[in-house]
């Protein structure tokens, strides 16, 4: 069905299914707020329920609203993609013609806001560099961490515990 939506080729059966899944908004509030309240009620019965949104700004607003309505204590985690921090050892001679300053590709000023928001940084794996979380928050992995344990890209879970070292979060426990 998602494939047919992308190319605007929904069948009549698809339209019926989608109309049955339309989120009610009797108070006529912002649609993302109504979706967040609907989701909160839905996960009580089905903890694996998921929300798909088409724009990153909508995802940010939705997630912020959900986290703010949770009664647990909130904390912020700096999200660093450690796989990008592993230094590679240069082999062979230095290739000055490959330096960025000699590139013919147009340079983009990352401080200028775009339709996708501001820059997400170089060390956060393409996601937000700071995450606000709380116990019982839903999370999703972006990278394969341990295939044997099932910690793979796209795996979802619920945050169960937090281990801190001083003021920094050292480990997150997910079920």
Give the pLDDT confidence of 77-123 residue by residue, as tens digits.
877 666 655 555 566 677 777 777 777 666 665 555 555 444 455 44
Q: Are residues 160 and 143 in the same domain?
A: yes
Of the candidates 161, 70, 71, which has an alpha carbon nearest to the alpha carbon of residue 174? 161
Q: 54 is in which domain, residue-wise?
A: 29-69
Does 40 share its domain with 78? no
Task: Flag whether 103 is in a domain.
Answer: no
pTM over 0.75: no
- Which runs of consecutive H residues, i.e. helices, occur in the chain? 2-6, 12-20, 31-45, 56-69
Sign (positive or negative) of CA dihedral 91, 97, 99, 103: negative
pLDDT tens across 130-162, in order?
Answer: 788 888 888 887 777 777 877 778 788 888 888
For residue 74, give every residue at least 6 positions away whose Cβ sits within 8 Å of its Cβ, in sequence order, or none. Answer: 67, 68, 132, 133, 134
Is the residue at 52 inside a domain?
A: yes
1 within domain boundaries: no
For residues 12 and 35, give the distance between their C-alpha atoms in angstroms, rounded to a whole number. Answer: 24
117 lies in a domain? no
140 within a domain of the structure (yes/no): yes
């Amino acid at each position: 069905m998602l494939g047919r939506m992308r190319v605007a080729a929904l069948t009549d059966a698809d339209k019926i299914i989608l109309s049955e899944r339309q989120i009610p908004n009797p108070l006529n509030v912002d649609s993302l707020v109504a979706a967040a309240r609907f989701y909160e009620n839905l996960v009580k019965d089905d903890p694996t329920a998921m929300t798909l949104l088409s724009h990153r700004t909508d995802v940010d607003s939705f997630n912020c609203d959900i986290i703010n309505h949770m009664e647990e204590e909130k904390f912020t985690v700096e999200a660093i993609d450690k796989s990008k921090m592993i230094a590679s050892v240069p082999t062979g001679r230095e290739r000055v013609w490959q330096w960025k300053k000699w590139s013919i590709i147009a340079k983009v000023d990352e401080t200028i806001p775009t339709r996708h928001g501001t820059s997400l940084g170089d060390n956060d794996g393409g996601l937000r560099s700071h995450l606000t979380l709380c116990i019982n928050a839903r999370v999703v992995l972006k990278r394969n961490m341990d295939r044997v344990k099932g910690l793979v890209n796209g795996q979802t879970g619920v945050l169960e515990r937090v281990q801190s070292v001083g003021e920094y979060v050292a480990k997150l426990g997910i079920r």
